[in-house]
Amino acid sequence: MKELLLYIARSLVDHPDQVTVTEVENGDELTLELRVAPEDMGKVIGRQGRIAKEIRTVVRSYAQRTGVKASVDIVD
């Protein structure tokens, strides 16, 4: 899942070398923390959060297929 999120985020931003994903386990749930360059934050979030919502949907769908609960947090 980490690789999927990295691929999606790097394809959206202008500075793909500054994209990082950290995995945090909270009991039975996995949280993926996405960090991008400050000037790329708008490209990852999108208008009214539409792109961020779709990123979360894709990752959650992939997680369900593998039997894991996962969520994505976009961190400053």
For the chain, list the domains and their CATH numbers. 1-75 (3.30.300.20)
- Give me the tens of pLDDT residue by residue for the chain, a chain 76 residues long: 999 999 999 999 999 999 999 999 988 899 999 999 999 999 999 999 999 999 999 999 999 999 999 999 999 8
Distance (Å, rounded) from C-alpha 76 to C-alpha 73?
10
pTM listed for this prediction:
0.91
β-pair type (20-26, 69-75): unpaired
Q: Which runs of E-coded beta strand occur in 1-76? A: 20-26, 29-35, 69-75
How high is the pLDDT of residue 76?
A: 84
Report phi then psi at 19, rounded to 5.
-85, 125
| Residue 13: Cβ within 10 Å count | 18
Token couple for 1: 């899942």
